[in-house]
Chain A
């Protein structure tokens, strides 16, 4: 009798845990665990897998971090991430064009990207303040429009550095630009650790940790507290004398700037700048990563960023090898699409009380 009630209680506690954590997240975490177990069995090189996962984590984490401010201020998931990415790309290409080389070009790319991120972020935030309630859909299309617009600009802007433009025409930027000799590995090579097959990009991880710490600290200040309150209940915040629109604007600018830095970090790891339609689909993986990490449409923490990016990138890197070794079928792309969009779909259909 007693045992049964205990069992029931255990059961209900388990159900509550599932309800809190969300079934999709459990499935994804379980799936990744399965991949880790399967990897050595099917003969994949385990250290390489871990190293790949950590590397991809280091490339992407900052872009996932960019989701945090807008979620906190109640602007929802930042599907307009490409706008920030474009600021970063402008910084990157100009830094190269102006003749900066080596790791210093990374610093300059960040410096040049910043004013663009501030200007575009201000415009974007102003727009989102005018359309409260419809943020996510419009953000998506603001992102898309800006990418398509920049496609024209990459052709038209007067870039002329030989290793950036099309060889034949002598103008118009290439779709991919190699960063060899520029800032490829600018962060990753700092304090890099090599153990056998494992390569740990300590510098990139530290850089992410620094940004994450600043974000964490910001959320503990008076302004950060106000931002969270705006997201939690804008009317309460207004009644407490907070300028709601200003907070939202600030969050959008922060998000845009982080996206700009995020793409630069990604490029230094990846080794190439991808232009034109490259930034087009970059928002969705970042959005689903933070959701997989346990965030909802209006709540997110630094832990969500770290866990989510790790889980998401883990799946992205592990599935191809494990699947290939197992059934000689590369289904990773399809699995990635289903997992990431399924996760977003799940978050959108959750009835988050008192929020949009």
Chain B
């Protein structure tokens, strides 16, 4: 992960504007624009329906995706472990719905409950990732499965038997464990409806957007703090950062903790929009979809911006909305579109990972090429003289 800049004799050429590079650097977003451009007319959805849907999803997903930015900054790649935060958020929601605290206060309380759980899980995850430097992504990915097992143990067996759960409506009939779905009906879209305005039939969840905007500002501010600067340094070259006296391991753990806590908040915002909690499956795919959306927005394993988040949400979810219908129109089978969008999500992540790894290798060989050219030129001079 640490870019090796030592003694690289070849100064990189300044990238002048070139169409080829522009396309190469943005393969994934361009692919998606093409897919959307084909699918939208085929699906036959009205523009106002589409815009409404996209607006909803923008409010629903953006916060979750923003939580991925900080580990990327710290050089730890795509945080598949954001699922840990999502689970912490769900536990918070289970408790508040048990205590029947609804609406905005319920959300805030759920967030408060999720914080200590997220921090603990984040520290654990960060420590484990420090043991697996260079393969953070696959480790955080397995980590999410592992903690999912623990989560099931807690929610399915310990809640109601060891951890007190009062309300029988969320308990399984057998007396312990949480039901497969927990209704959040009385919390549903409470944040979205706050200050919501309707412009030409498009409902805009102003309060949610304000929260997201605040989050963006927070991230911008964070980048300008000492800690943010340290994270960038650690992300680019751990050895140099260590030599300069930065506590690399601690910085990496903090970045994962922040990401986990934010993912918890994001999950609560996500679920208040959905209006119900699928206790055992809500979180299982969330990491994958968020990462896919971020990559669709043009981010890569080592670089992501706030702009990538929003572009990603818009493009990815447009595809998500139109694909089933377009698939049904084209093939006559509605399942095709469903499978297509799942395939595309996975394929996007695969392509982004492959591009990242090949780019890493290309960078190395480019330096070598430059060196050779210099030598050959020098060699030719030598012969001429």
Q: Report which A residues bind B (CB closer than 8 A).
A: 79, 127, 130-134, 136-138, 140-142, 144-145, 148-149, 151-152, 155-156, 172, 284, 329, 331, 333-335, 337-338, 341-342, 344-345, 348-349, 351, 356
Q: Are B138 and A145 in contact (CB under 8 A)?
A: no
Question: What distance in Å separates the Cβ of B48 from its nearest Cβ neighbour in chain A?
Answer: 30
Once A331-B157, A344-B142, A351-B131 are accepted as A-B contacts, the answer to whether A141 and B339 lie under 8 Å apart by CB is no
How many Å from the CB of B354 to the closest CB on chain A?
A: 6
A136 touches B357 (CB 8 A): no
Query: A338 and B150 in contact (CB under 8 A), knowing A348-B138, A348-B139, A349-B131?
Result: yes
CA distance A144 to B149 in the complex (A): 21
Which residues on A sit within 8 Å (CB–CB) of B137? 137
Question: Contact check: which of B139, B143, B145 meets A337 at CB < 8 Å?
Answer: B145
A144, B346: Cα distance in complex, Å: 6
A345 touches B139 (CB 8 A): yes
Pairs across A and B, CB under 8 Å, 18 listed: A79-B138, A127-B354, A131-B354, A134-B353, A137-B135, A137-B137, A140-B138, A141-B346, A148-B347, A149-B343, A149-B347, A152-B343, A155-B335, A337-B146, A338-B150, A342-B146, A345-B143, A356-B135
Cβ–Cβ < 8 Å partners of B44 in chain A? none
A137 and B342 contacting across the interface, CB-CB below 8 Å: no
Instruction: Please report the total number of B residues contacting A with Cβ < 8 Å.
Output: 40
Q: How far is the CB of B186 from chain A (nearest CB, A)?
A: 30
Q: Could you tell me if B153 and A348 are in contact, using CB atoms closer than 8 angstroms? A: no
- B27 at the binding interface (Cβ < 8 Å): no
* B residues near A348, Cβ cutoff 8 Å: 132, 135, 138-139, 142
Instruction: Tell me which of A130, A142, A284, A345 contacts B357 (CB under 8 A).
Output: A130
Q: Is the CB of A137 within 8 A of B138?
A: yes
Q: Does B198 contact A (CB under 8 A)?
A: no
Closest chain B CB from A137 CB (angstroms)? 4
Q: In the assembly, what is the distance between CA of A79 and CA of B350, in Å?
A: 13
Tell me whether B149 and A341 are in contact (CB under 8 A): yes
Q: Are B135 and A145 in contact (CB under 8 A)?
A: no
Given A152-B339, A334-B156, A338-B150, also A284-B145 (CB < 8 A): yes
Interface set, chain B 318-346, CB cutoff 8 A to A: 331, 333, 335-336, 339-340, 342-343, 345-346
Is B261 interfacial (CB-CB < 8 Å)? no
- Chain A residues with CB below 8 A from B347, complex form: 145, 148-149
Partner of A148, one of B139, B156, B339: B339
**CB atoms of A334 and B141 under 8 A apart:** no
Task: Check B358 against A172 for contact (C-beta < 8 Å).
Answer: no
Instruction: Tell yes or no: B219 within 8 A of A by CB.
Output: no
Cβ of B349 within 8 Å of any chain A Cβ, yes or no, is yes
Chain B hits for A148, CB < 8 A: 339, 342-343, 345-347
The answer to whether B148 has its CB under 8 Å from any CB of chain A is yes
**Is chain B's binding surface mostly helix, strand, loop or mixed?**
helix
Evaluate whether A334 and B342 lie within 8 angstroms (CB atoms) in the complex, with A152-B336, A345-B146 already known.
no
Contact of B354 among A130, A284, A331, A334 (CB under 8 A): A130
Interface-central residue, A136, A141, A156, A329, by most chain B CB under 10 Å? A141
List residues of B (131-175) whose CB comes within 8 Å of A's CBs: 131-132, 134-135, 137-139, 141-143, 145-146, 148-150, 152-153, 156-157
Q: List 10 tightest A-B contacts by C-beta distance, closest first.
A: A337-B149, A148-B343, A131-B357, A338-B149, A349-B131, A341-B146, A151-B339, A141-B350, A145-B346, A134-B357
Are the C-beta atoms of A338 and B146 separated by less than 8 Å?
Answer: yes
A331–chain B nearest beta-carbon distance, Å: 6
Closest to B347 in A: A145
A345-B139, A345-B143, A349-B132 known; A133 and B336 CB under 8 Å? no
Given contacts A127-B354, A338-B150, 9 further A-B pairs with CB under 8 A are A133-B357, A137-B353, A148-B345, A148-B346, A341-B146, A342-B149, A349-B128, A349-B132, A356-B135
Whether B146 lies near A140 (C-beta < 8 A) is no
- Output the least CB separation between B154 and chain A (Å): 10
Q: Using Cβ atoms and an 8 Å threshold, which residues of chain B touch A141?
A: 346, 349-350, 353
Q: Assess the B336–A156 pair: CB atoms within 8 A.
A: yes
Cα distance A274–B353 when bound, in Å? 29
Assess the A155–B153 pair: CB atoms within 8 A: no
Task: Give A337 to B342 CA distance when docked, in angstroms.
Answer: 23
A334 touching B153 by the CB < 8 A rule?
Answer: yes
Residues in B whose Cβ lies below 8 Å from that of A356: 134-135
Against A, the Cβ 8 Å flags (1 = close, 0 = not) of B338-376 are: 011011011101100110111011000000000000000
Q: Roughly how many angstroms separate A130 CA and B186 CA in the complex, as a whole number?
A: 52
**Cα distance, A284 to B149, chains bound together (Å):** 14
B333: which A residues are within 8 A, CB to CB?
Answer: 155, 172
Please tell me if the beta carbons of A145 and B128 are within 8 angstroms of each other in the complex. no
In the complex, chain B residues 215-240 whose Cβ is within 8 Å of any chain A Cβ? none
List the A side residues contacting B157 at CB < 8 Å. Answer: 329, 331, 334
Chain A residue nearest in CB terms to B343: A148
Instruction: Using known A-B contacts A138-B357, A152-B336, A155-B333, determine if residue A337 contacts B350 with beta carbons closer than 8 Å.
Output: no
Question: Which chain A residues border B357 with CB–CB below 8 Å?
Answer: 130-131, 133-134, 138
Q: A342 vs B146: C-alpha distance in the bound complex, in angstroms?
A: 6
**CB neighbours of A132 from chain B (8 A):** 361
Residue of A nearest to B352 (CB): A141
